[in-house]
Amino acid sequence: MAIFEKSSEKAVTRAIIAGFTKDMEKFADTDVIVVGGGPSGLIAARDLALKDVKVLIIERNNYLGGGFWLGGFLMNTITIRAPAHKILDELEIKHEEFEKGLHVVPGPLACSKLIAAACEAGAGVINMCSFDDVVLREKNRVSGAVVNWTPVSLLPKAVNCVDPIAFESKLVIDATGHDAVVVKKLEERGLIKTPGFGAMWIEKSEDAVVEHTGLAHPGLIVVGMSVSTTFGLPRMGPTFGSMLLSGRKGAEVAYKLLKKN
């Protein structure tokens, strides 16, 4: 007596293709594209999806979470400074206070719950997919993302003749961490100038990242460590409170802009 229901190779193949195609068709034209599924991108996507904004996360790795799995130096204890621990409470992630205002939480727990929160809120995800370029419209407004499968983008140029595809959106959020790949693409085109991030100073950097989170160019919002690269702020150090607060602020900025237009 078999344990599982009957099925076949062709049914499994069709189920995969149909499910994926349905999602991709839905997001070909979306409200917001979040490039990068680290902590700042995940919270931004989750907050927007909770407000019924159509949001797609594009992540180059197979896994979401970015640097949020590890606290620093390959040690998986995450540190979060108050008041960002309130977001952990909101997501029902258990944490401890190491010393006044400095909270600790196991990376795998915090990261997996944040990923689940973004997905449960309704954010779409396309993983193993790399941002390649921006879509630009009138007055060089960022209006979407050109993407290709990560394995394709890693092929040597000599054997890579696979055209990318593009998703259109009202807004793009650069949540790609230190690399700030969307911002850098605009810089390559002479539309923006970035100073790159400065030396580590945790006390200053966390506040500065949240303060500078917002519109970097028409149609483009920066959150998380890409804010440091864009505005020349001190690098973060291994603490994540501002990644969560910056992602949340980025979502608020996006929501206001969407309501205005």
- The binding site for ligand 48F (CB under 6 A) comprises 35-41, 58-61, 66-68, 130-131, 175-177, 179, 181, 224-225, 236, 238-240, 243
Nearest approach, Cβ of residue 176 and ligand 48F (Å): 4
DSSP strand E in 152-261: where?
Answer: 165-174, 214-217, 220-222
Of the pair 12, 79, the CB lying nearest ligand 48F is at 79
Nearest approach, Cβ of residue 97 and ligand 48F (Å): 19
Nearest approach, Cβ of residue 112 and ligand 48F (Å): 14
Nearest approach, Cβ of residue 40 and ligand 48F (Å): 3
Of the pair 130, 230, the CB lying nearest ligand 48F is at 130
Of the pair 28, 200, the CB lying nearest ligand 48F is at 200
Q: Helix H segments across 35-82?
A: 39-50
Of the pair 136, 182, the CB lying nearest ligand 48F is at 182
Of the pair 27, 131, the CB lying nearest ligand 48F is at 131
Strand order in the sheet with 102-106: 77-81, 102-106, 96-99
Nearest approach, Cβ of residue 181 and ligand 48F (Å): 4
Tell me how long the chain is: 261
Q: Please list, in sequence order, all residues whose beta carbon lies within 8 angstroms of the beta carbon of residue 146, skipping any fewer than 6 positions away.
A: 131, 132, 133, 134, 135, 164, 165, 166
DSSP at 116: H
126-164 burial, b if ≥16 CB within 10 A, otherwise e?
beebbbbbbbbeeebebbbbbbbbeebbeeeeeeeeeeb
Neighbours of 116 (CB within 10 A): 14
